[in-house]
Amino acid sequence: GENVEQHPSTLSVQEGDSAVIKCTYSDSASNYFPWYKQELGKRPQLIIDIRSNVGEKKDQRIAVTLNKTAKHFSLHITETQPEDSAVYFCAASRGSYIPTFGRGTSLIVHP
């Protein structure tokens, strides 16, 4: 089955800095890679996703890159703000398989 590794488990940055969270996956057939943000006490919500036919996707201050050869994908947040503080989860899936989640990264943005 799919195995998703996510690093780092905790990331602390100053407001305005960039943050990068990295994930690797094991199943080369995986073709869908979503990222979820979970604020304290709230539900996980999709913030951005990428499919295997695309190498990069941007949405304002967030971007995701995918390297299929190396089987890794990353979330980039620029100009971080305190409201970006949350737990971020990556996931990988294909076809009818249930998504496999990474173990999460706790991002702390200090004002």
Count of CB atoms situated within 10 Å of the CB of 21: 23
CB of 78 to another protein, least distance (A): 23
Residue among 108, 95, 102 nearest 31 (CA)? 95
Coil vs helix vs strand at 111: coil
* Distance of closest approach, residue 79 Cβ to another protein, in angstroms: 25
Q: CB-wise, 2 or 78, nearer to another protein?
A: 2
Residues near another protein (CB under 8 A) are: 31-32, 34, 38, 42-46, 49, 51, 87, 89, 91-99, 101, 103-104, 106
8 A C-beta contact, residue 78 and residue 68: no
> By C-beta, is 38 or 65 nearer to another protein?
38
Based on CB atoms, which residue is closest to another protein, 78 or 99?
Answer: 99
Q: Smallest gap, in angstroms, from Cβ of residue 30 to another protein?
A: 9
Ramachandran angles phi, psi of 95, nearest 5°: 50, -130
Question: CA 66, 20, 39 angle in degrees (round to 5)?
Answer: 105
Closest CB to another protein among 23 and 91? 91
